Amino acid sequence: MDPLSSAYDEIAGMYHALWADWYLPAAKPALEKVFFAQVPAGQRILDVCCGSGHVTKELVRRGYQVTGIDASAELIELARRNLPGVDLRVQDARTLRLESRYDAALSTFDSLNHMLTSDDLCRVLVGVHRALEPGGLFVFDMNLQEAYSADVRQWVVRVSDEEVTMVRGLYDERTQKATTELIWFVRAGVGNCWRQHHSAVEERCYEPPEIVRALNSAGFRRIEVMQATDLGMKAELALGRIFVSARS
């Protein structure tokens, strides 16, 4: 397998620690309705863009047979440490290579917004459709322009004795591209030495009609687009977020 490069590799530890208890607690009410209630325990689940395994861990806890894929080798390594024995693979979601078929697939935390072109998004959807059993469920969430436009462009800084994290988001309405800049200082060795890690993660804003067209083109049917707020998701993570459900 050719090595992949991901913007998350440089700040994987920061990502894992910073958002460990952020997305999943907020998203659980929505996931209960659109995914967990629809998919019986024991079924085979594909976790698309699983990151360091925050949601994957919940899938395993609920008794699903899980395969997780992510383009970041560093995030997958963190997931493997926390989920020994789970099938976790370094793969680009645009070029899925899977031997099995799955009963359902899930992609969370606006992971599909990381596809920066319509062609890339379509490639992911085609690959997921191919990986699902006939009638299989695919659920994912995405951010709309409202979510990105709410960004105040100010740094959010967290300081501890061992590390300093800095995060800010930028959004260009003309290109519909969002950039999250992340800087991570970690104490290195003894004394007053610190190691700096820096990355910029890009996302693209898609409108619901474009998402639905891409799903139809990939072969999905019974497509439903739902506002996160209508599904019970609260706090700032629900703003401008939709959940999409479709069947292969």
The answer, yes or no, to whether residue 134 has pLDDT greater than 70, is yes
Q: Is 145 exposed, middle or buried (0-12, 13-18, 19+ CB in 10 A)?
A: middle
State yes or no: pLDDT of 146 exceeds 80: yes
- The pLDDT, as a whole number, for residue 1 is 35
Q: What is the pLDDT of residue 3?
A: 47
pLDDT at 139 over 70: yes
Question: Does 166 share its domain with 116?
Answer: no
Number of separate domains in the chain: 2
Closest CA to 71 of 140, 2, 4, 142: 4
Average pLDDT score over the chain: 93
- Cα 21 from Cα 2, distance rounded (Å): 32
- Same domain for 57 and 136, yes or no, is yes
- Report residue 192: phi and psi, to 5°: -110, 35
Question: Which residue(s) pair with 82 in the sheet?
Answer: none
Report pTM.
0.94
Query: Do 59 and 95 belong to one domain?
Result: yes
104 and 199 both lie in a single domain: no
Rg for the chain, CA atoms, rounded: 18
Are 197 and 230 contained in the same domain?
no
What per-residue confidence (pLDDT) applies to 54?
A: 95
- Residues 79 and 195 reside in one and the same domain: no
Provide the pLDDT for residue 75: 96
Element (H or E) spanning 75, and its range? helix 73-82
| Judgement on whether residues 55 and 156 belong to the same structural domain of the protein | no
Residues 72, 133 share a domain: yes
Backbone angles phi, psi at 232, to 5 degrees: 95, 5
Q: Same structural domain for residues 140 and 31? A: yes
Do 44 and 158 belong together in one domain?
Answer: no
Higher local confidence (pLDDT), 13 or 24:
24
Cα–Cα distance for residue pair 141/234, rounded to 1 Å: 14
> Which range marks the domain in which residue 174 is found?
147-203
Q: Which two tokens stand for residue 185?
A: 């200082």
111 and 177 co-located in one domain? no
CA distances from 139 to 9, 75, 95 (A): 26, 22, 19
H/E/C letters for each residue in 154-171?
A: CCEEEECCCEEEEEEEEE
